Structure 1
Amino acid sequence: MQAAHSAGKHALLVADTGAGKTLAGFLPTLVDFCPSGGVQPGEGLHTLYISPLKALAHDVQRNLLAPVQEMGLPIRIETRSGDTPSDRRKRQIGKPPDILLTTPESLSLLLSYPDSFQLFAGLRRVVIDEVHAFATGKRGDLLALALSRLQAIAPDMQRAALSATVASPEAFREWLAPWGDVDSVTVVEGEKGAPPEVEILLPREERVPWGGHAAIWAIPQLYEEIRRNRTTLVFTNTRFLAEYIFRNLWDANEDNLPIAIHHGSLSVEARRKVEGAMARGELRALVATASLDLGVDWGDVDCVVQMGAPKGSSRLLQRIGRANHRLDQPSRAILVPGNRFEFLEATAAKDAVDEGRRDGEDFRPGGLDVLAQHVMACACAAPFDENALLAEIRASLPYAWIDETIWQRVLNFVATGGYALKAYDKFRRITRDTDGFWRLTHPEQAQRHRMNAGIIVDSEMLDVRFRNGRSLGKVEERFAASLKPGDTFQFAGLDLEVEQLRDMELVVRASRRGAMIPSYSGLRLPLSTHLADRVQAMLTDRAGWARFPDDVREWLEVQAWRSHLPAPGRLLVESFPHGGREYTAFYTFTGWNANQSLGMLITKRMEDRGLMPGGFVANDYSLAVWGLKKVEDPAPLLSPEILNHEFVDWVQDSYLLRRAFREVAVISGLVERQHPGKRKTGRQVTFSTDLIYDVLRKYEPDHVLIEAAWADARAKMTDIGRLGDLLDRAVGHIDHVQLDRVSPLAVPVMVMLGRESLPQGSVDDELLLEAETLAGAAMQLDPLEDEEE
């Protein structure tokens, strides 16, 4: 890194966890502040560190202070995020630290101040940690635009990006390069560390479950593991499962071991308390979500547990790296599958980690809603020339595609809201003056922008507080609205009773009664294409079945004997009767989003063809559709042209596009969540966006936000790319099998019928009972064959 810095190059450092990436990223900065470096502390902001997580920024601050103090450097290091007190944020602009640790959103807000030109004028370096975690999404779009602005303010600024799990260094090198100058970026490969030790936990003297995702069967074995270790970090894929697993562990905690929980909905105080306890080695176990799976350096963690399917080898590798966090010692991890397909997925992920294979999302064009937010931030800082700003924007990879026509549409939207909305003064935010510069229509627009700017649009949340004012965190407004005084629920590891719901607060008290658990709609982690392909390959590799548990091997053997196994490059479809209905199962391996979309489209086609569909259910691997009439030929239900018209009609008439529009409307600043002294409820935001959406659909269907919403709906909510690949593959490559009963492979998705809208985990016991009934039918041999044997 120092060599690249000395040569005036930008750098991408790819190195294993524990190799010292973060310190390497800061090394040129520390060298500059050494007596021979010629830089004096207090001369202004020298280095900007960008982190995807607030927790990571605080952890880096702790770990960076030690070497700085050991070297005797009087460097001032501070963090800045949404949790930073307002007085400190104000001071940081007037009297900046030497090193500032922040997030993409906080950096964008800093750039919206007139003082930003002075603040960043002397900026020497930007260090982007865990770049793989956000570069391919909207946060990466926002950061790419911010980097272009910083480069314009400080032309000699050097960029450095760090990651342990970049699947394609060349793609990230292109993203990091200003003006597409890839030759200005040097890729630095770090020393390889000890290979991780990964094992898959299996039930003792029992079978791998057929259904369910919470893997509660493993709690006794997990607790034994926690007792053996100094510190165990237990990862879950959702906040709901974090609360659920924590409660079950706490119930099993007969030794009263210090076990804690951490996720993004908890209060700042609660998160900081847990992070501090972990840093001091005071916890024996911590149950967490993705809020802690990036870069946090706790050397005393000697085992990482992944509850449920890992969904991607890079994500798993990142989480495994939290154990030991030393280059010369292997990180130890245990994967706990919730069902048989998850066992296959865990095995595929373990194989990928053993082989050093990584996966990741592809880069896509930058979002127009993010661009509109950035334009507004630039206007808040100072009047701008549209040609100069366009050139600056095109210097970033996500927006190199922006042409003059699209640019004018974005400018027109920020200025007036668009053709259909320009008659309303509330949407007039910027105007062009007589000199040709764009400026704010009123100074108050700057405050409104800063109060509402951001990329992450979560479900509306309500504060959970005790009567004395102590905050525990936030729960979804939709969940809170379902509660009444006297109801109990579980949150932050506590059983709570509702006292009252007032304004944007849920007032509670501790309870000794049994509790419900908050159900978050939150993020559903997608199954990576890489792992999906590996799982499908396993199904046809009969020689490889020898390493599977007996019950899993028997499951696949009976499936092969009774029906077929999904073959690479082909689509297996099974039709069978069950419970007086006709079912058809499609083994797609395209992930939940694509399967949900396909289910909607197939049931619509079934209805048009008189097959009387009743519904469908999906998981990451398969889709089961049921109706009153048998599907004799699935090919007409899967023709690729289904995406040309029916997909468009379905998305426009469904909630998907409205939901996508709500997000882009908030991100672009068209609809504001915050006003001075007041915050809109989620219901009010939804009402506002739905009203605007209906107006634009009718009077301006080519509006820039409609276009942005379509891009989101295709990419994020329906996974249209994987769906299109599946339909193309299905042409002439369908293996359709007619069966007289449910097949073994269909059991994991069939047990979810009627349960898909319920919280995962709470119905696991009932699901397992139903799974055993289904499995008995699926695995039963025919009577005649029983007699012959």
Structure 2
Amino acid sequence: RSGHSPFETSKIYFVPTHSLELIEVAALKEAVKTQTIEKREPLVLTFDVLVQFLVTVALGGGFFPDQFHSITLQTFAFSEMTEDEWKWCLYFITIGGKTGKNYEEFHKVVLDENGKYIVTSRKIGMLHRMNIGVIVSDAMLKVKFVSGGYVGMIEEYFISKLKPGDKFILAGRVLEFVRIKEMMVQVKASTGKAITPSWLGGRLPLSSNLSHFLRQKIALSGAPNAKENELQFLQPLLARQAAVSHIPQENEFLVEKIKTREGWHLFMYPFEGRLIHEIMSSLIAYRISQLYPISFSMAMNDYGFELFSDKEIPLNEENLGKILTRENLMNDVISSINAAEMARRKFRDIAVISGMVVQNFPGQQRSNKSLQSSAGLIFKVLEDHDPNHFLVRQAYTEVFNMQLQEQRLVEAFKRIEKSKIILKFANSFTPLSFPIKVDSLRQTLTSEDLDARIQKLIQQAKKLK
């Protein structure tokens, strides 16, 4: 919020966590110079917000449906709303929908003799006023062994994507995911390859525009006459990348296979940001596992991702095309992650905003555990008995658009399909792969500190020069 006042100038202080991030400075400068402003994609057809608003207006004096319908259609978010969707919203706030008609607490609004929708119940009015708002906090879940024993805390965003049997690293331990029970993650101790968790701070994604400039600057970085100070500073490092592997041009997609004493590493560099790489790494791992029985641990940063296995990863230029195809993209994404659990977790927010689940009572606020329990039960009932319920559909839509970033993922694969795939083999970590590897090292429990382990990797790389 630097310069967060009228007529003040904002200042950005860039603190790179590794040398290559200086390229982002060059990319950001280019974006500013060309005045490339990020688009803000507004959410549309958010029925949870609309039904809350309708109850609010009904509580504040009421509304006539035809008059209010025309007003709603003038908003961008609901300009494409159909007549059936509008009728469903009215049906929902008055009767509670198909599944809520037998429960009085869902009958919030009544139609009076003048054809006006109003709230007559004092209790419903009081509870609604106490719960107005659309900001719902992201939950942290406790991680415990099935047999008992506390391990730590994990973000719901990350854990909800895992399927039973998936392994992840927490508190330096490899854990096998068993189940989520309300707000508790139950795990078993395990060994072998595991996924590195993502946290909110590291999940703020590179935007599509910044990713474009980043790829552009990386392509230019190999030129000895690069003008930007950042690229000049990085010349020795980038020269090594060119010598041991390749610097991808804008129309190229770099894949590196690296054999070390630990095993086989597959690195891919879409330069699309960590959020997209989380999904892509799961997707690529799933597609490879469909061809060959193999398990991976995964790590990623804003530039690329790593799949690591103790078995040789049987990829070559011929089958890489199949692995990186856009065909059946979202079906494979759904198969590679737990989309239903993600939607169930997303539904908690929707249920709170729409008023299906009440968060605040007089003198009492319900815990996340209680909210998830109630919302999870409603979600299951709706999925079983009313699968086309608009709020259930909204949960899946928001998972695909916001968490899985469907549109951007499709665009990334379109670009990759048009690109020339460059497959390189190396015996040590390259400058592009090194930061990703270090990121995965942070999660592993060992008696050596991180600096010592990084120095060991550097020495190994020098021996192989």
Pair in the same fold by TM > 0.5? yes
Q: Distance in 1 between matches of 2:249 and 2:462?
A: 21
Tell me if 1:585 matches 2:272: no
In the superposition, relative to structure 1, how do residues 769 and 424 fare at CA in structure 2: closer, same or farther (>3 Å)? Answer: farther
* Cα contact 2:26–2:231 (8 A) shared by 1: no
1:529-580 CA deviation, whole Å, 9 max, x = no partner? 2211111111111232773377622221111121122221332221222343
Taking the TM superposition and a 5 Å limit, the aligned residue runs for 1:297-446 are: 325-326=7-8, 333-440=12-119, 442-446=121-125
The answer for the alignment partner of 2:251 in structure 1 is: 569
Unpaired stretches in structure 2, ≥5 consecutive residues: 144-148, 153-197
* Cα contact 1:360–1:528 (8 A) shared by 2: no
The answer for the alignment partner of 1:646 in structure 2 is: 332
Q: Distance in 2 between matches of 1:449 and 1:723?
A: 38
* Cα contact 1:359–1:530 (8 A) shared by 2: yes
Q: Distance in 2 between matches of 1:656 and 1:756?
A: 24
The answer for the alignment partner of 1:54 in structure 2 is: none
Q: TM-score, length-normalised on structure 2?
A: 0.78
* Cα contact 1:555–1:779 (8 A) shared by 2: no
Q: Distance in 2 between matches of 1:756 and 1:448?
A: 44
In the superposition, relative to structure 1, how do residues 334 and 293 fare at CA in structure 2: closer, same or farther (>3 Å)? Answer: closer
How many pairs align? 406
Taking the TM superposition and a 5 Å limit, the aligned residue runs for 1:430-469 are: 430-440=109-119, 442-459=121-138
Post-superposition shift, 1:645?
1.8
Q: AA paired with 1:615?
A: S
Q: Distance in 2 between matches of 1:351 and 1:439?
A: 54
Q: Distance in 2 between matches of 1:755 and 1:372?
A: 45
The answer for the alignment partner of 1:748 in structure 2 is: 435
The answer for the alignment partner of 1:699 in structure 2 is: 385
* Cα contact 2:25–2:230 (8 A) shared by 1: no
In the superposition, relative to structure 1, how do residues 435 and 708 fare at CA in structure 2: closer, same or farther (>3 Å)? Answer: same
Q: Distance in 1 between matches of 2:22 and 2:52?
A: 43
Stretch moving more, 384-393 or 427-436: 427-436
* Cα contact 2:429–2:461 (8 A) shared by 1: yes
Post-superposition shift, 1:622?
0.8
Tell me if 1:637 matches 2:323: yes
* Cα contact 2:344–2:376 (8 A) shared by 1: yes
In the superposition, relative to structure 1, how do residues 332 and 369 fare at CA in structure 2: closer, same or farther (>3 Å)? Answer: closer
Tell me if 1:617 matches 2:304: no
* Cα contact 2:4–2:10 (8 A) shared by 1: no
In the superposition, relative to structure 1, how do residues 452 and 364 fare at CA in structure 2: closer, same or farther (>3 Å)? Answer: closer
Q: SS state of the match for residue 266, structure 2?
A: strand
Q: TM-score, length-normalised on structure 1?
A: 0.47
In the superposition, relative to structure 1, how do residues 643 and 450 fare at CA in structure 2: closer, same or farther (>3 Å)? Answer: farther
Q: Distance in 2 between matches of 1:372 and 1:714?
A: 22
Q: AA paired with 2:434?
A: V
Post-superposition shift, 1:670?
1.5
The answer for the alignment partner of 1:210 in structure 2 is: none
In the superposition, relative to structure 1, how do residues 696 and 650 fare at CA in structure 2: closer, same or farther (>3 Å)? Answer: farther
* Cα contact 1:540–1:567 (8 A) shared by 2: yes
Taking the TM superposition and a 5 Å limit, the aligned residue runs for 1:26-425 are: 292-293=1-2, 295-296=4-5, 325-326=7-8, 333-425=12-104
Q: Distance in 2 between matches of 1:553 and 1:701?
A: 56
Q: SS state of the match for residue 13, structure 2?
A: strand
The answer for the alignment partner of 2:454 in structure 1 is: 771
Post-superposition shift, 1:684?
0.9
- The structure 2 residue matched to 1:690, chosen from 370, 376, 380, is 376
Q: Distance in 2 between matches of 1:767 and 1:350?
A: 32
In the superposition, relative to structure 1, how do residues 452 and 737 fare at CA in structure 2: closer, same or farther (>3 Å)? Answer: same
Tell me if 1:559 matches 2:241: yes
The answer for the alignment partner of 1:656 in structure 2 is: 342
Stretch moving more, 570-579 or 767-776: 767-776
In the superposition, relative to structure 1, how do residues 413 and 530 fare at CA in structure 2: closer, same or farther (>3 Å)? Answer: same
Tell me if 1:532 matches 2:208: no
- The structure 2 residue matched to 1:601, chosen from 283, 286, 299, is 283
Structure having the higher Rg = 1
Q: AA paired with 2:389?
A: H
Post-superposition shift, 1:392?
0.7
* Cα contact 2:22–2:230 (8 A) shared by 1: no
Q: Distance in 2 between matches of 1:366 and 1:757?
A: 43
The answer for the alignment partner of 2:162 in structure 1 is: none
Q: Distance in 2 between matches of 1:296 and 1:590?
A: 32
The answer for the alignment partner of 1:122 in structure 2 is: none
Q: Distance in 2 between matches of 1:737 and 1:708?
A: 43
Post-superposition shift, 1:451?
1.2
Q: SS state of the match for residue 306, structure 2?
A: strand
* Cα contact 1:451–1:675 (8 A) shared by 2: yes
Q: AA paired with 2:359?
A: R
Q: AA paired with 1:714?
A: F
* Cα contact 1:559–1:745 (8 A) shared by 2: yes
In the superposition, relative to structure 1, how do residues 459 and 715 fare at CA in structure 2: closer, same or farther (>3 Å)? Answer: same
Q: SS state of the match for residue 435, structure 2?
A: helix
Q: Distance in 2 between matches of 1:691 and 1:589?
A: 40
1:287-315 CA deviation, whole Å, 9 max, x = no partner? xxxxx457346xxxxxxxxxxxxxxxxxx
The answer for the alignment partner of 2:173 in structure 1 is: none
* Cα contact 1:477–1:682 (8 A) shared by 2: no
Q: Distance in 2 between matches of 1:778 and 1:746?
A: 12
Q: SS state of the match for residue 753, structure 1?
A: helix
Q: SS state of the match for residue 26, structure 2?
A: helix
- The structure 1 residue matched to 2:424, chosen from 723, 737, 740, is 737
Q: AA paired with 2:300?
A: A
Post-superposition shift, 1:382?
2.2
What percent identity do the matched residue pairs reach?
24
In the superposition, relative to structure 1, how do residues 477 and 698 fare at CA in structure 2: closer, same or farther (>3 Å)? Answer: closer
The answer for the alignment partner of 1:51 in structure 2 is: none
1:166-217 CA deviation, whole Å, 9 max, x = no partner? xxxxxxxxxxxxxxxxxxxxxxxxxxxxxxxxxxxxxxxxxxxxxxxxxxxx
Tell me if 1:709 matches 2:395: yes
* Cα contact 1:590–1:621 (8 A) shared by 2: yes
The answer for the alignment partner of 1:45 in structure 2 is: none
In the superposition, relative to structure 1, how do residues 641 and 431 fare at CA in structure 2: closer, same or farther (>3 Å)? Answer: farther
